[in-house]
Amino acid sequence: MLPDFPWDSLAGARAKAARHPGGVVDLSIGTPVDDTPEVLVHALAAAGNAPGYPTALGTADLRTAAAGWLQRRLGVRLADPLGTAPSVIPTIGSKELVALLPTMLGLRGGGTVVVPEVAYPTYEVGAVLAGLGVRRTDTPPADATGVVLAWLNSPGNPHGRVLSDDQLRAWVAWGRAHGVPVVADECYVTLGWDVTPRSILHPAIAGEDHAGLLAVHSLSKQSTAAGYRAGLLSGDPELVRQVWEVRRHLGLLVPGPVQAAMVAGLADDAHVEAQRERYGARRAALAPAVRAAGARIDHSEAGLYLWVTRDEDCWTTIDWLAGLGIVAAPGSFYGPAGTRHVRLALTAADERVATAVERLGA
């Protein structure tokens, strides 16, 4: 049985926040609000005449652009991205991939999926859909019996924690030793603040090849294109091919105009840096205000969130913030280890972030 959709439980906090004279400042969901850059918009429009079906494999232009972006931005060298055994394919955003990956890898019927102690809820949803159990741990388990897949998330959602090179290498060695695919969700990899995140596919981590490893990337945040549903899966060609074959059968196809926009977005670094500056400015304004209000920020060295605690139950903090007209995400959404934190997103408009800063200082 699937868990309850977590955001529904915020209805009471939203109602309380809405009664604030200045309206709601919603910092709960990390939905981009800034305009999608023109480089993507123009490419999407130019490819708008698309009468035929796109392919699940992705166009040669897209796979070439993805490989170029991975090498240029992350130092990752893919094995023959245009070959018959694909090392990169497009996905309809990253969430559907996360939710369906255990199923698409044929892992149904028993076993356990390892997820971080504090984790994006969809990792668990994907395991439940495939009839698998979940084990929460931040370190490779000594007993790998029954483990069929391991998820990493660096930079992490919700807490912005970044795994060190040694931690990543330990997971790679563990996965290969036990024959367990290790998948890194790296959707925030371009948003390091206090540290520079490393991809699990980097040669300093993976070694000479990507055997047993996959990485997930997205244009949603770095290109403010969440509405395009534009993601990537790359890594071990054998694993990527398994996913591709299933996606062909299911008709999980990224629309042709979106693929064209992805090509343009992956080739252009300027818009990514401009958006990064916007998020950084919001972070620089909001973080001191949170601390001045008596709360503590843990981790948060990368990504789009502040992981905040007042050393109390997260719902008590949610109620305090709602009284200020601010809505946050309770840490309990992300597992038992998150029950004393809340997540504040940096994706709200500048005016709303400035309003939150003012209210926190009142």
Stated length of the chain: 362
How far apart are the C-alpha atoms of 168 and 342, rounded to whole Å?
26
Q: In sequence order, what DSSP letters do the residues of 315-360 get, joined into one string?
A: HHHHHHHHHTTEE-EEGGGG-GGGTT-EEEES-S-HHHHHHHHHHH
Q: Which domains does the chain have, with CATH numbers?
A: 6-36+271-360 (3.90.1150.10), 50-267 (3.40.640.10)
- pLDDT value for 149: 98
Q: What is the mean pLDDT of the chain?
A: 95
Strand runs labelled E in 219-311? 230-235, 296-298, 305-309
Cis peptide before 155 (omega within 30 of 0): yes
For residue 6, is pLDDT > 80? no
Residue 78 gets the label, from left (phi > 0), alpha (psi -120 to 50) or beta, of beta
- pLDDT value for 108: 80
pLDDT (tens digit, 9 = 90+) per residue, 139-182? Answer: 999 999 999 999 999 999 999 999 999 999 999 999 999 999 99
pTM as predicted: 0.95
- pLDDT value for 2: 66
Q: In this structure, are residues 189 and 199 in contact, taking their beta carbons and an 8 Å threshold? A: yes
Q: In this structure, are residues 319 and 1 in contact, taking their beta carbons and an 8 Å threshold? A: no
How far apart are the C-alpha atoms of 317 and 324, rounded to whole Å?
11
Bridge partners of residue 149, in order along the sequence: 113
Radius of gyration of the chain from its Cα atoms, rounded to whole angstroms: 20
How far apart are the C-alpha atoms of 4 and 238, rounded to whole Å?
34
Q: Give the pLDDT mean for 62-84.
A: 93
User: Which residues make Cβ contacts (< 8 Å) with residue 15, sequence separation at least 6?
Assistant: none
pLDDT (tens digit, 9 = 90+) per residue, 35-65? Answer: 999 999 999 999 999 999 999 999 999 999 9
Residue 196: both structure tokens together: 């520079």
